[in-house]
Amino acid sequence: MKQHTFDIAVFGAGPAGSGSALFLAEAGYRVALIEQRAFAKAGPSWVNAVYAEGFSKIGLRAPEGDEVELADFPVTFFSADLAERLDVAASGFTNVRMRPFVDRLQRDAFAAGVVGFDLARFEHFTLVADRPVVARIVQQKEGHEGEAIEIKARLFVDATGIAGSLREQVAALRLPPAAAGDSDLCTALQQNCHVTDPAAAAEFLAARKVAAGTLISILGTQGGFSTLSVQISPDLSGVGILAGSIKEARFLTGTQMVKKFCEEHPWIGAKIHSGGGTIPLRHPLHRLTAPGVAVVGNAANQVFSVHGSGVMPSLQAARLLANAVADAADPGDEAVLWRYASAFQQSLGALLASYDLFRRFSQNLTSAEIAKMFRYGLMNEAMMLAGIRQVMPEPSLTSGLSMLATGVRDPLFAAALVRSLARMPLVYLHYQNFPEVPDKKKFAGWVAYAKRLGV
């Protein structure tokens, strides 16, 4: 059997894995990147909206050229019955074509010295005193028998997406079976199509009083969490449709929502591309590392759950991991990896977990209650921009005039909202107090209190 030795082996070549491999190679490590599909098919292949300002903060060139479909467009949010609306003039979102973007991350990683193994699936670990030291992979090149290969490394990074393939083989990281129920998963599909009748597309926009290029986001047609977004290109030649809903039998799936919308609008023509999958919505994993293993991206639930956005959080996590292990004699050492866990939980973890309370509150709302959020001014521009930029909302948003007005008009609804929002700053504070060092007792106490706060 072939054997290779690296400092670090990263599994999964989506944004989290390709970004991690790049940053870790730039930090001077000998890195392997292992992907079960062909590299050219790894990770998302559709269009994702990403808040572009984040890239400079993690030292990554922002998407450019053919990686960008459209930048800084307006967004109009609608209630399900289209009766209520909220216009956000400049969202700061960039529609990123993920295929060329992930290709670039991989190219830069290989140029930095990363060694790639594609069509190669993680099988299992060899453990020494509970620490993985060798990963066995099986590489299945076209027309050949699968070849087993042993990868020896001091750190194994799980960036295998929602599968969490490595995580599930490490006792300290394995999720209990009930940890992620279907109500914490979103099924989503993004599809781009030609527009066959530009005049009819223009009528569709005129009826909603929005300009071409605006992202129309209809909230709550399939339960409180769901969204159906439609964006007709400025030249009326194409349309992008994104739909997502909670993975429960009573709701249409993202795929069904897109299909239904296309059938109802005959001006939508042939599909250009589409892609989809399941997005984990639950707060980030409490435990992100074990000796010899770190988890990043969807595998760690590092997703801004309110709108199911995982691209920027996974790249931010990749950067924090590379910073934490830089210059370490053993990048898989428990205390070294804990620096990544604490840096993540104290910053991004605090944000993602706080917002997850709001996601859970809003997904239980009916379409009519979502419409109330618009009417009462609770769904306002500042709140939506905080969500897009992935920052905490200003305290005035949760204790301000609109909240008071809601309390007067609809005390029961206001009470439920306050119960949920009031915990957000508590959760944020608690995550900021994530233990700095791997102290079992302190960590257990931290987890217990997080659970009491509902995250």
Ligand X SMILES: Cc1cc2nc3c(=O)[nH]c(=O)nc-3n(C[C@H](O)[C@H](O)[C@H](O)COP(=O)(O)OP(=O)(O)OC[C@H]3O[C@@H](n4cnc5c(N)ncnc54)[C@H](O)[C@@H]3O)c2cc1C
- Contact stretch for ligand X (CB under 6 A) within 33-41, 139-147, 362-370, 426-434: 33-41
Residue 35 engages ligand X in binding (rule: CB under 6 A): yes
For residue 273, the tally of other CB atoms under 10 A from its CB is 14
**Residue 393 makes contact with ligand X by CB under 6 A:** no
Phi, psi at residue 8, to the nearest 5°?
Answer: -135, 135
CB atoms within 10 A of CB 246: 22
**Site track for ligand X across 163-202, x = CB under 6 A:** x-x----------------------xxx------------
Assess 320 for contact with ligand X (CB under 6 A). no
**Options 6, 8, 15, 380; binder of ligand X; rule CB under 6 A:** 15
Q: Is the dihedral of CA 384, 388, 389, 390 positive or negative?
A: positive
SS3 22: helix
Give dist(CA 82, CA 179) in Å, integer. 36
Segment lying near ligand X (by CB under 6 A), choices 6-14, 257-265, 324-332, 436-444: 6-14
Question: Which of 10, 13, 268, 293 touches ligand X by CB under 6 A?
Answer: 13
Residue 238 or 308: the one with the smaller Cβ distance to ligand X is 308
- Helix/strand/coil percentages in the chain, nearest 5: 40, 25, 35
Cα gap 128→148, rounded to integer Å: 20
**Binding to ligand X by residue 297, rule CB under 6 A?**
yes
Nearer to ligand X, 32 or 383 (CB): 32
Residue 310 binds ligand X, judged by CB under 6 A: yes
**Of 311 and 424, which CB lies nearer to ligand X in the complex structure?**
311
The span from the CA of 59 to the CA of 174, in Å, is 32
Q: Is 114 in the site for ligand X (CB under 6 A)?
A: no
The least CB distance from residue 39 to ligand X, in Å, is: 9
> CA 341 to CA 133: how far, in whole Å?
21
Maximum Cα interatomic distance, the chain, rounded to a whole number of Å: 72
159 binds ligand X (CB under 6 A): yes
- For ligand X, which stretch binds (CB under 6 A), given 57-65, 273-281, 401-409, 429-437? 273-281
Binding residue count for ligand X, defined by CB under 6 A: 42
Q: Is 92 in the site for ligand X (CB under 6 A)?
A: no
**DSSP secondary structure letters along 166-230:** TGGGSTTTPPPTTSS-GGGEEEEEEEEEEES-HHHHHHHHHHTT--TTPEEEEE-BTBTT-EEEE
Calculate ∠ Cα 331-34-21, nearest 5°. Answer: 45
Residues that bind ligand X (CB under 6 A): 11-17, 34-37, 42-44, 46, 48-50, 121-122, 159-161, 163, 165, 188-190, 242, 276-277, 279, 297-299, 303, 308-312, 314
